[in-house]
Amino acid sequence: MPERTGLRRRLLTLFGALALACVVAIAGGLWVAGRTEPVAPSVLNGALVAGFVILGLVVWLWFVLDQQLAQPLDRLAAAFRARAHAGITRDLSEDLGRARLLGDLAPAADAMGRALTETRSALDEAVARETTRLAAEKSRLETLLADVPVAVLLCSAEHQLAFYNGQAVEILGGGTAPGLDRNLLDYLREGPISHAYARLHEAGDPDAASDLLCATVSGGQMLSGRMRVLRRREPGVEPGYVLTLRDVTADIAAHTSRDALLSEVFDRVRRPAANLQTVIGVMAELEGESDRPDLSAAMRDEVEALTQAITELGARHDAMQTDWRPLVSTRSGDLLDGLKGRFQAEGLGLETESLDLIVQLDGFEIVGFWTWLAGHIARDGLARDFRIEIEEEDGPGAVMRLCWQGEPLSVGRLDGWLPEVLGRDTGELTARAVLQTHGTEAWPETSVARQAVVMPIRQARRASRRIQPITRKVVYDFDLLGKAKGTKVEDTKLEDLTFVVFDTETTGLEPSQDAIVQIAAVRLVNGRRVETEVFDTLVDPGRPIPPRSTDVHGITDSMVVGAPDVIEAGRQFHKFAEGAVLVAHNAPFDMEFLRRQEGAIGKAFDHPVLDTVLLSAVVYGQLEPHSLDALTARLGITIPEEARHTAIGDTVATADAFLRLVPMLKARGLTTFGQVVAELRKHGRLLKDLND
C-alpha cells in the first residue's frame, strides 16, 4: 500500500525539526560557554533574540513553501488523478497560476496531461468505430427482448437479478423497476424457485428446463414460469439461471369459476330432476285409481324450476366464455383488411366501412366466421358481392354487419348452418363456437334496400391518436453473475457494492423542528447509475412549508397535497435502499431527519453510509471548498439551474460525482469499503462519519 503521509505534513515535520534543532544548538552553545565562566546577561539576551529570529525565519519559510509549493503540488496531484482516473478534462490554468515556484514542472505536467487526454481521445474514437456494429446488434437484441410477451429474468445462483425486461417490471414491480442486484425472493415466494433450481442443478443437463407455478410474496398474483440453468460458469461461482414468467392469475380465476359453475349446474339440476322422477313415479303407481291426488301442479313447479336453472346457468356459462379465452385488442381497419384478403381468395367481392375503432375479439376466428358465412350465402345463390360495416353503439360495444343485395336469409336457415365447422384451416371450430367464445349471437335483418346478418361485439372503443406507451427498456449487467456474495461490507471492494445515492428537501434546517418534503434516490450497481431505478416522491410534512424554504427548493403547500406522509414515504425509501450502501452530500443532515422517524416507520436506517463531503476531503484535501457546487465544478459535472436544490437534481449530481471519485480513491490505494471509512475518519473535524 502506498505511503499516505501528505507532503504538507512532511514539510511541517521537517521545519519543526529544524526549528527544534536550532533552539537546541543555541541552548547547547550557551551551556558549553557557561561551563568555563558565567554567561553575561547581554550574551544571554542576544542568544534569546537570535533564537526567536531563527524560529520566525523557519516558520516564515515553512509558510511560504506550504503556500507556494506543498498546496499547489496537492492541487496538481488531485487534478491529475481526476484526469487519469475519472476522465476529467478541466482547464488547469488556475492550478498552474498557483504553482509559480515549481518552475517548468507544472507546465510540463500539464503538457503530459494534455498528451494523455489526446491519446485517450484517439483511443476512444478507435474503440467507438470498432464497437459501432456491436452497439447496433446490442440495440436490436434489446428491442427483441423488450418485445417478448413474457417477463424474462436472469439471476445468479443467489437469486440476485442481473437482467429484467419491461414485462418483468409490470409483474414484479407493479410498474416500478425491481432493481439490479436485488434478490428475486423479495418479490416471489422462495419454495418453487429454490426447488426448481435445485432440480436443474442436480441434473447437470444445460438443456433441461423446469416448469413451475409460484406466487408473489404478497400472494396477489399466481405466475407460471419456466427455468433453465445457464451454461456459463465462473470459477468458484455457481451458475445462474433464466426464468420466464407469465401472470396466470386470471386464468386460474377462470378455471375456478368454471369449476364452481359446473358444480352448481349439477347441484341445481340434480334436485329438480330427482323431484320430477319422484313425481312421475308416484303418478305411475297411482295410475287408474279414482282418488289419486292431482300432481300436475307439483310437476309444473319442478319443470319451471328446472327450466329457470338451466336458462340462468346457460347465460352465466355464455358470459364466462370471454373470460376463459382472453380476447385481443384489434384495430377495425386491420380486421377489415384481413377480411378483404380472405374474400378475394374465395372469389367474393367485398366493400368495407368502419370508424377507427379498437375492438376486443379473436381476429382469426371472426375472419373465418364471416368468410364461411359469405361462402354459404354465395353457394346458395343469394349473393356474391358483399359489404361489411362496423358501427359504434352508444354503450361499450359495436355491431358488425354483413350486407348484400338480393334474397333474404331466414333465421331457421342460419341456425341450421351454425353447427357446421368453418373450414379445413380451422379444425373442428364451428360457427356456433365462435359466437359462444365472443359471448354474442348472430341473426338476419331484412329491409327493402338490403339484406344483412348482424353480430354484436361486446367491447369496442374509439382509437386514440395518442399511442399507449409500452415499457420496452431491458436492464442488465451480466457481470453480476460472476460475483459471489457473502463478504463482509468492510472487506468488500467498492466496485462490488450496490449504492443508493439520495437527497432530501425539508421545511428547514433543524431536524428536531422541521420535516421532510421530498426524498429522491438513484441506484448505482457495478459502477454505473441504473437510469430506470429511481425513487422520487414528494412528502406531506403535515405542517405549512415556510416561504424561505420554498424559495430554496420550490416546493409549495399545494404541491404536497395528496402526497404520502413521512411514514409511508420512509417505508418506500427504506425498501428501495434495502441491502445498499447509502451515499449523500452532507449525510449527517439527511440521516438525522430519517433516523428521527425510525420508530414511526418501523424500520431502522442502519445502512453503511458514505459522505461525498468527506470523500472530497480525502481526494482534494481539507483546505479546498467541499460544497456540492464546488465538487461538481472540479469534476466537470454541470447541474442544470432548474435542477439545483431539487432532491432529484442534487441526487443525480451527487451520484455522478461519487462515480468519478471512486477511481481516484482506488488510485490512492483505497479499494475496500473499510479502507475508505478509515480514511474518512481522519477528516472528522469537517463532518462526523456515520459508520459505527
Residues designated catalytic: 645
CA–CA separation, 515 and 593 (whole Å)? 7
DSSP structure class, residue 226: E
The CA-based angle 523-525-530, given to 5 degrees, is 55
Contact 88, 635 (CB under 8 A): yes
Residue 477 has a CB neighbour count (10 Å cut-off) of: 18
For the record, the C-alpha cell of 138 comes out as 446490442
User: What is the enclosing helix (H) or strand (E) of 457?
Assistant: strand 451-457
CA–CA separation, 464 and 150 (whole Å)? 26
The CA-based angle 466-467-469, given to 5 degrees, is 125
Mapped onto helix, strand or coil, the DSSP state of residue 387 is strand
327-352 burial code (b ≥16 CB/10 A, e <16) = beebebeebbebbbebbeeeebebeb
Q: Which of 221, 209, 230, 232 is nearest to 168 (CA)?
A: 221
454 Cβ contact list (under 8 Å, min separation 6) = 399, 400, 401, 442, 443, 444, 445
CA–CA separation, 621 and 634 (whole Å)? 13
DSSP structure class, residue 467: P
433 Cβ contact list (under 8 Å, min separation 6) = none
415-427 burial code (b ≥16 CB/10 A, e <16) = eebbeeebeeebe
CA–CA separation, 336 and 353 (whole Å)? 8
Contact 221, 215 (CB under 8 A): yes
CA–CA separation, 358 and 340 (whole Å)? 18
Residue 92 has a CB neighbour count (10 Å cut-off) of: 20
- Distances from the Cα of 570 to the Cαs of 498, 504, 565, 589, in angstroms? 20, 11, 8, 16
Parallel/antiparallel/unpaired status of strands 222-229 and 328-331: unpaired
Residue type, 454: V
Mapped onto helix, strand or coil, the DSSP state of residue 475 is strand
Residue 236 has a CB neighbour count (10 Å cut-off) of: 7
Q: Which of 127, 94, 92, 95 is nearest to 111 (CA)?
A: 92
CA–CA separation, 627 and 643 (whole Å)? 16
